[in-house]
Amino acid sequence: MVVHAVVDSPVGELTLVARDGALSGLYMTGQRYRPAEENFGARDDTSLREVAHQLAEYFAGTRTTFDVPLDLAGTPFQRAVWSALCEIPYGETVSYGELAAGLGRPTAARAVGAANGHNPVGIIVPCHRVVGSSGDLTGYGGGVERKRHLLAFEAHTLTSTRSAGRAG
């Protein structure tokens, strides 16, 4: 059974999609590779309440990781890339090449970029934390401005948390 909910966020409206109780999609308005709306199933805010709650905590700066069940449809390589994305610490970035090397495929930076771009659960599977080899904010399915916003938000939250820890 496929259901969806729509939540507001600082990066715009997010459409959450669940398949059989597990999150299978998180799509931004205008996102590249966003499926057609008719694939989102019936609207059901109740089934996705926990995902919405964790996203609200993330955007409030009180959550740095997510623990919702995921059902990500993709090739074995894509799923390996998405799993590796979840290992990138909050507020940090890696390059496509570093991610490829970490997967044991040092020459597959472009393939990693393609898999990254097809991540169906942005933010929760943090594809925004992958940058070009020079640190440039190259592509992002939700748009480079959203990527810039998410990275700046995480950096600011870390700085604020560290400052508060020293003040206490």
**Tokens 């499926």 sit at which residue?**
35
CB contact at 8 A, 119 and 75? no
Please provide residue 147's backbone torsions phi and psi, each rounded to the nearest 5 degrees.
-60, -45
Cα angle 31, 149, 143 (rounded to 5 degrees) comes to 25
Catalytic positions: 127
Nearest to 85 by CA among 137, 112, 125: 125
